[in-house]
Structure 1
Amino acid sequence: MCLGLPMTIVETDGTTALCQYGDELRRVSVLLLSDPPAGAKVLVYLDSAVRLLDDEEARLIGDAIQGLQAALNGEDCDRFFGDLVDREPELPEHLR
């Protein structure tokens, strides 16, 4: 299974960008985006930035990835899913 990572662009030359997620630095393609600037948050999938993210969405995705890691390690993961804990599941609008 592959996951998209919320990464921050450190520098870019217009076709590729050096991006960071935690301690990881990775050079990725930005050809699918319209010249994203340094500091922009992007969703990276298979070494390609596929779309821009706002700060909140990037944080939620990062929390979910950390929550999955915690669950795999047998740790409590509820703190990473604060937006889901203590509420009833809801179908997305397009499925209602």
Structure 2
Amino acid sequence: MCLGIPVRVVESHDFVAICEGRQGRQQVNMMLVGPQPVGTWVSNYLGSAREVLEPEQAEAINAAMDELTAAVNGDPNANLDLFFDPR
């Protein structure tokens, strides 16, 4: 299973962009979503942007990933129910 990681475009070129996110700066292939202006959030799957995100979506995904990381690292205060359906 792959997770889309939100990244923000900081430099835009024809078919690639330099983006910043949880894993620092990286080059992202933009062929599936087209060129995007600086400041746009996209969902990055293995080096390719798959979806343009609203800033609120990117924030919610990052918050859920922060909580998941806390849980994996043994934080007893991690509450995944806030972000993931417990059913």
- TM-score of Structure 1 vs Structure 2, range by shorter chain: 0.7 to 0.9
Equivalent residue letter for 1:77 = A
The residue that corresponds to 1:42 in the other structure is 42
The residue that corresponds to 1:94 in the other structure is none
Q: d(CA) in 1 for partners of 2:36 and 2:14?
A: 8
Q: d(CA) in 2 for partners of 1:43 and 1:13?
A: 17
The residue that corresponds to 2:8 in the other structure is 8
Identity %: 33
Q: TM-score, normalised by structure 2?
A: 0.84
Which ranges of structure 1 fall in alignment gaps of 5 or more residues?
90-96
Q: Give the 4+ runs in structure 1 shifted more than 6 A.
A: none
Structure index of larger Rg? 1
The residue that corresponds to 2:24 in the other structure is 24
Which ranges of structure 2 fall in alignment gaps of 5 or more residues?
none
Aligned length: 86
Aligned Cα root-mean-square deviation (Å): 2.2
